[in-house]
Structure 1
Amino acid sequence: MIGPSGAGKDSLLNGLRNGLPGMDTPLPLYFAKRTITRSHHQSNENHEFVDEPTFESMLHNNAFALNWFANGLHYGIRHSELSQMHAGMWVMVNGSRAYLEEAKKRFPGLTVLHITAPKEVLRTRLLMRGRESEQDIEARLNRPQSLASEPPDLCLLNEGSLEESLGTLKKLLHQHTSTYSKNTGYIE
């Protein structure tokens, strides 16, 4: 899962994790926990917090299957967090657009879900979060929003209520699971 800050990636992941009303066929999802050099009080994400020297040591010791640097923070996904793929689960990772090409090299065939929202919605959400100054938010919003060379597999415009967006995401994932299962037999 990729998308700009403020697009609602964490909120959607939390909504999926907590289950959706009316989800008659549960999706085979596992939610990868990220290791981040950001303290817990600055985030609504249940992540593993480490300081920069610890992260660098972990990186040096090959602790991560995926890792990137974005917005002044280090992010990593431990190898163990991806092990559920071998059990037929879809592993949901809140990733980075800048790191996407590298992730696709490491894991060919990964499904890319792009979450986005209109610029005004992003601005409002980022201001409400209160992590950055208005000047930093404007700089973030005006950065190029380029994706990988290929378009994402799934796209969601998250501009309505969380319930509406979760319902749309549920439909997208179910449709993709059906298509994926028919084509590969990987997910029953």
Structure 2
Amino acid sequence: MTGLIGPGAFIAVSGASGVGKDTLLDLARDRCGEGAFFPRRVITRPGGPGEDHLPVTRQQFIRARLGAAFAVTWHAHGLDYGIPAAADGAIRAGQVVVANVSRGVIPELRGRYERVVSVRVTVSDEVRAARLRARGRESVADITERLSRIDPATGHDVDHEIRNDGTAQDAGDHLIAIVESAMAQRTERS
């Protein structure tokens, strides 16, 4: 026994802000059925346009983390993020969990789950800048800061890379194929 949680898999979708991760996750959620679980992230950010997340205060987040409400947490861009502990139960039940995560927690995920599939979403700088402006969540200064950061994941190993410069449907189909492959592997292992 490895002590790692299985037999399902965790598909860790990462990429810089504005590459379209949430759009691709929405497309996959609509098509992947009950074999896949797309947890709603908990974030210390008010609700609003963009990702459908559970908004909480910093104090609520800390209490939830101390109460073991999360499978994994991280802090980025002045916000706290958490994937609910229900992800563990879904993986124990053999489901494939698909979530938008910080690339910095992928090693932690690999130490927690039997099967982790890392997916990096990329996009050209021009498309990314336009998307960040269009979503209306950050100030001009925040967008400029995000765009000036060098993407540290360039040299990191990933299992799949999705280039999201074309249509959302094309990139979404790529993610759906990855999820379906992980679900098929689950079936083969059963």
- TM-score grouping bracket, smaller chain normalisation: 0.7 to 0.9
- TM normalised by structure 1 equals 0.83
Q: Distance in 1 between the 2:85 and 2:179 partners?
A: 24
Matched, 1:3 2:6: no
Alpha carbons of 1:18 and 1:71: their partners in 2 closer, same or farther (altered >3 Å)?
A: same
CA displacement at 1:138 relative to structure 2: 2.2
CA displacement at 1:110 relative to structure 2: 0.9
CA displacement at 1:185 relative to structure 2: 3.2
Larger fraction in strand: 2
Alpha carbons of 1:96 and 1:19: their partners in 2 closer, same or farther (altered >3 Å)?
A: same
Identity percentage of aligned residues? 31
CA displacement at 1:109 relative to structure 2: 3.0
When structure 1 is superposed on structure 2, of 50-59 and 145-154 the one drifting more is 145-154
Q: Give the structure 2 partner of residue 32 of structure 1.
A: 39
Alpha carbons of 1:148 and 1:59: their partners in 2 closer, same or farther (altered >3 Å)?
A: farther
Return the letter of the residue paired with 1:90.
V
Matched, 1:73 2:79: yes
Q: Residues 117 and 157 of structure 1 are in contact (CA less than 8 Å); yes or no, is this contact kept in structure 2?
A: yes
Alignment counterpart, residue 110 of structure 2, candidates 101, 104, 109: 104
Matched, 1:139 2:151: no
Deviations 1:157-181 (A, max 9, x none): 0111112222233334445555x45
Q: Where does the alignment leave 5 or more consecutive residues of structure 1 unmatched? A: 21-25
Q: Where does the alignment leave 5 or more consecutive residues of structure 2 unmatched? A: 1-12
Moved over 3 A (4+): 171-178
Alignment counterpart, residue 27 of structure 2, candidates 7, 11, 15: 15
Matched, 1:185 2:183: no
Alignment counterpart, residue 161 of structure 1, candidates 149, 152, 167: 167
Q: Residues 96 and 179 of structure 2 are in contact (CA less than 8 Å); yes or no, is this contact kept in structure 1?
A: no
Higher relative contact order (CA 8 A, sep 6+): 2
Q: Distance in 2 between the 1:82 and 1:12 partners?
A: 23
Alignment counterpart, residue 88 of structure 1, candidates 72, 94, 98: 94
